[in-house]
Amino acid sequence: MEEKELIAKLRELRQIKPSQDWAVLVKDEILGQEQKAKQESPFAIILSTFRMIFAKPAYAGLAAFFVFAGLFGTFTFAQKSLPGEKLYSMKKVTERVQSAFVSEEELPLVQLELTNKRLEELAQVAQENRVKNLPSAINETRASISEANKNLAKASSPAEVKKIVDEIEEKAQTISQTLGVAFGEEELEELKQSSDKLYAEDLISALEASTLTEGQEEVLSQMKQLIEEEKYSGALILFQNEFNKPPTTTETIEESLEEIQTEETVEDVEEEEGTTEEEAEEELEDLEEKEGETSEEK
């Protein structure tokens, strides 16, 4: 074939256009290959499988059962996990969700309970000698103590807060002795200081609303001075020394004061008249009855 004939043939080929059916067929084939490549990823395969299963009503219920059973099993195992383990992050997420539905007044107590959990986890790690989990457990405990301290002032029950914080401090000291290493000393000191302040200020409010003797008024004044100097534990010790033991709740403070004042009155009667304790109490009761009758007559 000569050169001129070859050029003529090529020009004829340029003018030939593919049929519409052929073009559509080639396009579908190319797009089909791309779609197949996308579905080769694990996520796409799983998604495609779920779509296929749930598309059939006969299998949808069974598939849903296995999905929820798997999630429930994972959730249960996560609650038993320790810091440093894979499922521990799921455990923390669950705790955050639960805390989100708690009121501001109850939140401090919930966070203190979580701190107790962190200490229990740390104790378990120490007892089982899980060296790899130890740094994570210590960090989680310190972070939990700091978080609890942030909202402590909002607590509605200072006496209960004080009790839990004392338990946390005691538990932390025991674990430190087991590990042979101190941890979270700064965080624990701040938590103790905050709980002492909250409880001391609550006692001051209760005392101010009560009828006090001259000696108790002096103690109250000294407690206020110590609180101004941020010596909260000193104020609590002073209260304990004056009233023998701190009441478990704020509501019992007035009862404690009345009991102590009655004891002091009985002692005064004994000293003045030289009577026995039983006689003094009887005389005191008679006086109270007479005062009550006089007020009724008026």
Residue 184 reports pLDDT greater than 70: yes
Shared domain for 190 and 258, answered yes or no, is no
Shared domain for 127 and 194, answered yes or no, is yes
Helix (H, G, I), strand (E, B) or coil at 298: coil
On whether residue 263 sits in a domain, the answer given is yes
Question: How big, in percent rounded to 5, are the helix, strand and coil portions of the chain?
Answer: 80, 0, 20
Shared domain for 135 and 200, answered yes or no, is yes
On whether residue 115 sits in a domain, the answer given is yes
- pLDDT tens digit sequence for 214-267: 888 998 999 999 999 999 999 999 988 887 655 444 445 555 555 555 554 544
On whether residue 267 sits in a domain, the answer given is yes
On whether residue 142 sits in a domain, the answer given is yes
On whether residue 285 sits in a domain, the answer given is yes
More confident: 186 or 256: 186
Residues 190 and 192: their CA atoms lie apart, in Å, by 5
Say what the pLDDT of residue 167 is.
94
- pLDDT tens digit sequence for 139-154: 999 999 999 999 998 9
Query: Which structural domain range is residue 199 located in?
Result: 105-149+156-179+186-209
Q: H or E stretch including 198? A: helix 185-208
On whether residue 127 sits in a domain, the answer given is yes
Q: How many independent structural domains does the chain possess?
A: 2
Name the residue among 219, 298, 293, 294 with its Cα closest to residue 256: 219
On whether residue 45 sits in a domain, the answer given is no
Shared domain for 257 and 194, answered yes or no, is no
On whether residue 31 sits in a domain, the answer given is no
Shared domain for 164 and 254, answered yes or no, is no
- pLDDT tens digit sequence for 55-107: 555 545 544 444 444 444 455 656 788 898 888 888 888 888 888 899 988 99
